[in-house]
Amino acid sequence: MSAPTDTPTTSPATAPTAAPLSARATAPLNAIVTATDVSQVYELRRGMFARPVGLKAVKDASFSVEEGETLAIVGESGCGKSTLARMLTMIETPSEGALTIDGVTITGEDARQLKKLRSTVQIVFQNPYGALNPRQKVGSIIEEPLKINTRLASAERRRKAEQALAEVGLRPEHYGRYPHMFSGGQRQRIAIARAIILEPKILVLDEPVSALDVSIQAQILNLLADLQERLGLTYIFISHDLSVVKHVADRVMVMYLGRPVEIAPVDALYAKPLHPYTRALLSATPATDPKSKGQRIRLTGELPSPISPPPGCSFNPRCPYANERCHTERPELTPHGPTRVACFAVEEGRIEGL
Amino acid sequence: MPLLSLRNLSVSFDTASGPFKAVDGVDITVEPGEVLGIVGESGSGKSVAMLGLMGLLPPSATVTADEIAFEGRDMRQMSGRERRKIIGSEIAMIFQEPMSSLNPCFTVGFQIKEALKAHTDLDRKGRKDRAIELMNAVGIPEPERRLSAFPHQMSGGMSQRVMIAMATACRPKLLIADEPTTALDVTIQAQILDLLLDLQKERGMAMILITHDMGVIAETAERVVVQYAGQQVERQPVSTLFDAPHHPYTSALLAAIPERATERRLPTIPGVVPGQGDRPDGCLFNPRCDKADDKCRTVVPPRQPKSLGEALCHYPLNHPANVSAA
């Protein structure tokens, strides 16, 4: 594993150093993740002699996650939420901007510190069928992080694995079985056991329940809530399902075409969504009450191509409130009560009923 | 006369470990122009029942029924040729994965025109005009240009629109939509549901909507069938189902939806849907039901009257005040 390379401007001034433990105990609300103008650019080659095009999957994302809270990241497919997850778990280094996790700036630090950080952040993926190796027994799947990151003896590893199995509601005899012998919900429990075995501080949950049925989804959501309470975990919960997000999150970040467009506490977001995209997203989510068949905000069109995003606000081709300014200037996140929102229409008070 | 009437439809599969009954005695009637929702978890047999009706199951499946009638015509007695005249033109179906339901080797125009070629006597020019008209109707921009597009050049939402154009090409009287929006984003899902309902109203087309999403059911269906492990456990109009579910499974399913939760912990249904090897005696839901007693574990439950949602249960919930215990 080589040290991270080519990171353009990493100013250490923006990266707060790790708070001493005593301070953390007195002030539980402490940013454990801070992202400052983080971007991820992928190079696309289209044809042998064509110039490669830069695709900015995430653009200038700035946000922070407090210790012990659940930050939900929502948006449609292609909005960059999974790219963000890959950066937070250090699968990829951001190509621009600074990302600080647990006091360590992951761009430009030495490899040893990064390795320690990797056991601080763990991830649970969407599809539990694809995330587990069918040739490995459950025991060795769960023990693998220990093998790589610690020097524990095998008996000790086994004890820890069985403890993790118990923690997620599976039985010790499941240790020697293969993944195909389990249902989707149980497999997701195995994936969670693997994620918590290194005692991480942060769990990135990339659509952890979207592949599951409603009744199983409820079981997994309860398990995640239990673990968060017992182990004091910080969750970054990525989802497209707004009703699940409402249930689990403390704060919500709505993304559109690689940029955060609204960051708000969960109550404020659902009571009074500000950004036109958030409003459309909320009204498009079917309500489980036949009597509340309300007026839906119809969004026309689809997500524009991220290779050539529209000038100005990237939501302007689908926005009912867009005017001249939205087509030329790009709005920045500005505070609006407890919410931070990137929209000129909100800023200028052009939206009725706000 | 109902448009479609199925009585006691069962589908069983031959597997290495013996026959497996995926659908067990399902009754469905659809009136012209109505929207019927079928809801259930994966493995409840909701898709298999409809695939059985369409004749799309593999040879290892055996479909039996007391009645399969479309507009009063008995489809069990029909020859393959007669059946194919109905299927694809009068009954059409769209599937969950629009990307994988389209053939990647042919243009979408060709695939839409293929349905017209099989079921109408339009000439080449007529088929092309009709295909453009259909693509317009389902909201595909620039239809003339899109006719020669390949499926990989279209997004998920656009592919599903093409599927809907193909399915509605012959003005079907019944459209079966099998999880039409599950693979799509919420804003696109809203667009596709609106489109389906507009087409349904405009043409007086009946629709069977199969889904696992209670929200989609609440927004679209008029009547709902709740399916569990191959059986219909409850049948109710949508307006009353969400307030007064009669079967414990329906009630538990509704309670597990995060949106309806009042506390941080969601009420859950313990266990999983029974598979081939572990089908319980008596009521199929008894191992997961908190109200189950010895009767539920031994005696197959009766079908309750209409006022109790035709629930398949010994102890239905939410008794209406005017009905004494059944």
Ordered mean pLDDT values, 10 residues apiece, chain B (326 residues): 92 88 92 94 88 90 93 89 89 88 93 91 94 91 90 88 92 93 85 91 93 90 93 93 92 88 84 81 91 91 91 88 47
Measured on CA atoms in the order A273, A279, A284, A287, is the torsion positive or negative? positive
Contact state of A243 with B257 under an 8 Å Cβ cutoff? yes
- Asked if pLDDT for residue A207 goes beyond 60, the answer is yes
Report the distance separating Cα A101 and Cα B288, nearest Å. Answer: 43
Which residues lie across from B9 on neighbouring strands? B26
Q: Which domain holds residue A139?
A: 21-276
pLDDT at A275: 94
pLDDT at B265: 86
Output A53 or B10, whichever has higher pLDDT: B10
Residue B54 · residue B6 · CB < 8 Å:
no
Q: Within a domain: residue B135?
A: yes
Measured on CA atoms in the order A298, A300, A304, A310, is the torsion positive or negative? negative
Contact state of B42 with A284 under an 8 Å Cβ cutoff? no
pLDDT at B279: 85
pLDDT at A108: 62
Closest CA to B69 of B93, B53, B84: B53
Report, as an integer, the average pLDDT of A201-225: 91
Residue A346 · residue A325 · CB < 8 Å:
no
- ipTM passes above 0.85: no
Output A73 or A287, whichever has higher pLDDT: A73
Which residues lie across from B136 on neighbouring strands? none
pLDDT at A67: 92
- Taking only residues 234 to 253 of chain A, the set having a beta carbon closer than 8 angstroms to any beta carbon of chain B reads 240, 242-244, 246-248
Beta-carbon-side half-sphere exposure of residue B1 (alpha carbons within 13 Å)? 6
Q: Within a domain: residue A2?
A: no
Contacts of A243 in chain B (CB under 8 A): 215, 257-259
Residue B301 · residue B316 · CB < 8 Å:
no
Contacts of A244 in chain B (CB under 8 A): 258
Residue A236 · residue A65 · CB < 8 Å:
yes
Which residues lie across from A42 on neighbouring strands? A55
- How confident is the prediction for chain A on average, in pLDDT? 85
Pairing of strands A339-341, A334-336: antiparallel
Report the distance separating Cα A204 and Cα A72, nearest Å. Answer: 10
Q: Which domain holds residue B116?
A: 102-169
Contact state of B238 with A289 under an 8 Å Cβ cutoff? no
Q: Within a domain: residue A128?
A: yes
- Taking only residues 97 to 156 of chain A, the set having a beta carbon closer than 8 angstroms to any beta carbon of chain B reads none
* Helix runs in A54-137, H state only: 81-88, 111-118
**How crowded is residue B99: how many other Cβ atoms within 10 Å of its Cβ?**
15
A77 — contact with chain B (CB < 8 Å)? yes
Q: B243 to chain A: nearest residue by CA?
A: A289
A282 — contact with chain B (CB < 8 Å)? no
The DSSP symbol for B312 reads: B
- Taking only residues 203 to 232 of chain A, the set having a beta carbon closer than 8 angstroms to any beta carbon of chain B reads 213-219, 221-222, 225
Substitution target in B189, B219, B253 with the highest count of A β-carbons within 10 Å is B219
A105 Cβ contact partners less than 8 Å away, ≥ 6 residues apart: A10, A12, A15, A98, A99
- Asked if pLDDT for residue A18 goes beyond 70, the answer is no
**How crowded is residue A6: how many other Cβ atoms within 10 Å of its Cβ?**
8
Q: Within a domain: residue B149?
A: yes
Chain B residues within 8 Å of chain A (Cβ atoms): 41-42, 155, 157-158, 185-191, 193-194, 212-216, 218-219, 238-239, 241-242, 252-254, 256-261, 264-269, 272
Q: Within a domain: residue B47?
A: no
Q: Within a domain: residue A345?
A: no
Burial of A236 (0-12, 13-18, 19+ CB in 10 A): buried
Report the distance separating Cα A207 and Cα A77, nearest Å. Answer: 11
pLDDT at A19: 40
Closest CA to A61 of A260, A278, A334: A260
Rounded to two decimals, what is the model's pTM? 0.85
Q: Within a domain: residue A84?
A: yes
Substitution target in B213, B240, B266, B278 with the highest count of A β-carbons within 10 Å is B266
pLDDT at A58: 92
Report the distance separating Cα A119 and Cα A3, nearest Å. Answer: 17
Number of folded domains that form chain A: 1
CA distance to A41, A96, A261, A309, per residue, from A54 (Å): 6, 13, 22, 12
CATH of the domain at A209: 3.40.50.300
Q: Within a domain: residue A105?
A: yes
Q: Within a domain: residue B24?
A: no
Report the distance separating Cα B148 and Cα B153, nearest Å. Answer: 10
B264 Cβ contact partners less than 8 Å away, ≥ 6 residues apart: A225
Q: pLDDT category, A82, cuts 50, 70, 90? A: confident
Beta-carbon-side half-sphere exposure of residue A256 (alpha carbons within 13 Å)? 28
pLDDT at A28: 43
Residue A21 · residue A73 · CB < 8 Å:
no
Percentage of residues in chain A having pLDDT higher than 70: 89
Chain A nearest C-alpha distance from B75 (Å): 34
Number of folded domains that form chain B: 1
The strand ranges marked E within chain B are: 4-15, 18-30, 35-39, 61-64, 67-70, 73-74, 91-94, 174-178, 206-211, 223-228, 231-237
Q: Within a domain: residue B83?
A: no
Q: Within a domain: residue B218?
A: no
Burial of B67 (0-12, 13-18, 19+ CB in 10 A): middle
Contact state of B268 with A299 under an 8 Å Cβ cutoff? no
Residue B228 · residue B284 · CB < 8 Å:
yes
Q: Within a domain: residue B162?
A: yes
Q: Within a domain: residue A338?
A: no
pLDDT at A293: 63
Q: B157 to chain A: nearest residue by CA?
A: A302
Q: B188 to chain A: nearest residue by CA?
A: A302
> Which residue is associated with the tokens 């909320």?
A282
Question: pLDDT for A88-111, tens place per residue?
Answer: 998 888 888 888 898 888 876 667
Output A211 or A4, whichever has higher pLDDT: A211
Report, as an integer, the average pLDDT of A66-90: 90
- Asked if pLDDT for residue A353 goes beyond 80, the answer is no
Contacts of B259 in chain A (CB under 8 A): 243, 246-247, 287-288
Report the distance separating Cα A119 and Cα A55, nearest Å. Answer: 30
Residue B218 · residue A287 · CB < 8 Å:
yes
A219 Cβ contact partners less than 8 Å away, ≥ 6 residues apart: A185, B268
Question: pLDDT for A224-245, tens place per residue?
Answer: 999 999 999 999 999 988 889 9
Q: Within a domain: residue B147?
A: yes
Closest CA to B237 of B247, B222, B254, B252: B222
**How crowded is residue A350: how many other Cβ atoms within 10 Å of its Cβ?**
16
Can you say how many angstroms the Cα of residue A331 is from the centroid of all Cα atoms in its chain? 23
pLDDT at A6: 43
Chain A nearest C-alpha distance from B82 (Å): 38
Tokens of A242: 């707004």
Secondary structure of residue B77 in the 3-state scheme? coil
Residue A157: which H helix or E strand, with range? helix A154-167
